[in-house]
A and B are shown apart, each in its own frame.
Chain A
Amino acid sequence: MPRLTLAQVVAVLGPAALARPSRKPRDPMERELLAKGGDPTVLREDTSLVRKAGDRPTRANSIPKP
């Protein structure tokens, strides 16, 4: 049985993740649509990171390791 609870994840890592800029690449048109709707993740995204709309994360479209 896991010791970690959902509430602990939210309490500890929620603020930690929200404090960082979101690195999710997104199609600019989709970003605009979601921003108009008030999607909070979109509002934190680095708009220079883009991808083709609908593409899922794969090795081929990964950000290279630093």
Chain B
Amino acid sequence: MTEGLKPHPLAVPHSLIVAFQRLKARPVLVGGKAVQVWTGLQDGLFQTYDLDFVTSLRVEDFPALGLGIEASGRHVVVEGQPVEFPTGPLAVGDLQLDPESDAVEIPTSAGDRIRCLRPEACVLDRLAQVAAWKVAEAYTQALAVAAAQVAQPGWDHAWIEEASRKAGLRKLWSLLKQELERDLPTEGALDEALRLGWD
């Protein structure tokens, strides 16, 4: 559940929800769409085209269900929406996460329920892209998720301190925390984040 957090409902094709139910799967939404859930932003830097779910399901599992879901390479296409299943397990960098405690149920815009990476884990997921690949927009997305959710009563400060250390992202999380205390974000911190890398 999402007590004390503020998710924004996300458009997820209902037939995909039905497919997950028939396949008895409890996938976890990650990636750019999870950023949309925790920021409510969908334009510009926050626009993304595909849904990413971590699950043990394979693309080949879907077409046989008869729900009109097509396989296309590593994606399935559901009502025109590409869906990808990134390589599991659920993790941030080299830190494996718990799909139960590190994800929460959120509503879709159609009134269904899906599981989504917690916002604290979503921040670290983005910072892992900064550490590994120097992705500038991922730093901005991490800061946006934190700015939107860190003051919510459900934000788990202790979890992100511990998880950032275990994931090798303590320096990047510390930098981001400093930015949260400023009156305005700085491009200097963005440049510093792109330089830092893993701990």
B132 near A61: Cβ-Cβ < 8 Å: yes
- Chain B residues contacting A20 (CB-CB under 8 Å) are 136
B20 at the interface (CB under 8 A from A): no
A34 near B49: Cβ-Cβ < 8 Å: yes
- Chain B residues contacting A37 (CB-CB under 8 Å) are 49-50, 82
B84 at the interface (CB under 8 A from A): yes
Contact stretch, chosen from B61-69, B71-79, B103-111 = B71-79
Q: Please, which residue of chain B has its CB at the minimum distance from the CB of A66?
A: B195
A22 near B135: Cβ-Cβ < 8 Å: yes
B151 near A57: Cβ-Cβ < 8 Å: no
- Chain A residues contacting B32 (CB-CB under 8 Å) are 41
Among B148, B182, B184, B197, the residue within 8 A (CB) of A62 is B197
A62 near B133: Cβ-Cβ < 8 Å: yes
A56 near B133: Cβ-Cβ < 8 Å: no
Give the complex CA separation of A2 and B146 in angstroms: 9
A6 near B39: Cβ-Cβ < 8 Å: yes
- Chain B residues contacting A54 (CB-CB under 8 Å) are 74, 84-87
Which residues, 1 to 28 on A, are CB-close (under 8 Å) to B? Answer: 1-6, 8-10, 12-14, 16-18, 20, 22-25, 27
- Chain B residues contacting A27 (CB-CB under 8 Å) are 74
Give the complex CA separation of A42 and B134 in angstroms: 15
B181 at the interface (CB under 8 A from A): yes
B182 near A24: Cβ-Cβ < 8 Å: no
A56 near B180: Cβ-Cβ < 8 Å: no
Give the complex CA separation of A20 and B181 in angstroms: 25
Among A3, A9, A23, chain B packs the most CB atoms within 10 A around the CB of A9
How many residues of chain B get a CB closer than 8 Å to chain A's CBs? 54
- Chain B residues contacting A33 (CB-CB under 8 Å) are 72-73, 75, 82
A17 near B129: Cβ-Cβ < 8 Å: no
Give the complex CA separation of A13 and B180 in angstroms: 13
B94 at the interface (CB under 8 A from A): yes
* Nearest-Cβ distance from residue A42 to partner chain B, whole angstroms: 8
A56 near B87: Cβ-Cβ < 8 Å: yes
- Chain A residues contacting B82 (CB-CB under 8 Å) are 33-34, 37
- Chain A residues contacting B197 (CB-CB under 8 Å) are 62, 65
- The 5 residue pairs across chains A and B that have the minimum distance between CB atoms: A57-B132, A39-B49, A2-B180, A62-B132, A13-B140
Q: Give 12 A-B contacts (CB < 8 Å), ordered by A residue.
A: A2-B151, A3-B183, A10-B144, A22-B137, A29-B73, A37-B82, A41-B137, A53-B84, A54-B86, A57-B129, A57-B132, A58-B128
